[in-house]
Amino acid sequence: MTRPIWREWMQKAHDNLPPQNWKEPSGIQHLPAYVVKTHVGNGSVEPSPSTEIYPSWYKQRGAVNSAPIDKVSNKLATDCTPELARLTQSGSTSAERFSADIFYGVGARATGNTSVNDDVHSCSDQKPSVSLTVSDGSLNSCAGSCTVSAAVSAGTHPLDDASRTQFPGTVNFYVNDQLVKSIATASGQPLSFTYTPTGSGSATFRANAIDSVLYESSDSATVTLSSVSSFNIQRSGNTISWSAVSGANSYKVYWNGPGDSPDTTNNTFFVVGGGSSNIFVEAYTGNNGNGNLLATSNTVP
């Protein structure tokens, strides 16, 4: 808003002055500057220059000891600040190096001012708790597919806090330390999803719960995996047949055409109605098409 006014004043002040190239005065210094990386307003360019001009008498502070910041309170971290909330800045990304403020950051701590320390976390705080369950009908088993769920309870601080929406409560699920699912605690419990293994063997499942001030806790379980396999079916007229699938106690038969699809059988054959097409079969561990999916067949016309 003030730009049009200042522009006119500066133009008047320079009227009738001959153009002259600016010469850098002797004694000035080009030193490292604080680099602004976040957008601050219209016309700003990020990142800002890494050097700046300083007067000859200016002495820049030397290397600043690492000063971890608590991301929640935006104050200096303490021994009680959880690891997930700690952020260490150094070099030209740390404003501490370019500040002489005795009321903030390292300068304040050096004067004994403890009001600049993390005042959100306390060493007596209770972390959230989480309990992991993995089941395909049998605990810690995942044959074909299984349900992975976590029951979460808040500790001293709530899982979600309307005043800290940048830190939503979250449960992250891992299989062998690979993230497979993230669910917000605000979505309501139970926090669950269906997992389909891609191989067989033993795997470590882990649920990691994070609350609104970045406290976290975990629970894990060793789970036996069995991936979905395939098998072949044949058609002769309206009769569909196949070889028994190991571990299967029932089969679901699907088709397009007359009748109700799918239908369930404990046999290794099934008679479909005339005119049926696109037929395939699924094998299950339980009776009557219940339990876990073990295998799927090819599709026959």
DSSP string, 117-144: B--S--TTPPPPEEEEEEESSSBTEEES
- The predicted pLDDT at position 113 comes to 46
DSSP label of 226: E
Query: How far apart are the C-alpha atoms of 260 and 24, rounded to whole Å?
Result: 89
pLDDT tens-digit series, residues 141-193: 998 789 999 999 999 999 999 999 999 999 999 999 999 999 999 977 779 99
For 229-297, the fitting CATH number among 2.60.40, 3.20.20, 2.30.30, 1.10.101 is: 2.60.40
Phi-psi region of 291 (alpha: psi -120 to 50; beta: other; left: phi over 0): left
The superfamily (CATH) of domain 129-226 is: Immunoglobulins (2.60.40.10)
pLDDT confidence band for 42 (50 / 70 / 90): confident
pLDDT at 111: 47
Query: How many CB atoms neighbour CB 138 within 10 A?
Result: 14
**Distances from the Cα of 264 to the Cα of 129, 232, 238, 301, angstroms:** 42, 17, 16, 19
- CA-to-CA distance for 72 and 87, rounded, in angstroms? 10
pTM confidence score: 0.59
* Three-state secondary-structure class, residue 193: strand
Question: Cα dihedral sign for 42, 45, 47, 50?
Answer: negative
Q: Using the CB atoms, write b or e for 88-112: b if 16+ within 10 Å.
A: eeeebebbbbbbeeeebbbbbeeee
**Domains of the chain by residue range:** 69-116, 129-226, 229-297
Please give the Cα distance from 29 to 25 (Å, whole number): 10
For residue range 257-273, list pLDDT tens digits in order. 777 778 899 999 999 88
Please tell me if the domain spanning 129-226 has the same topology as the one spanning 229-297. yes
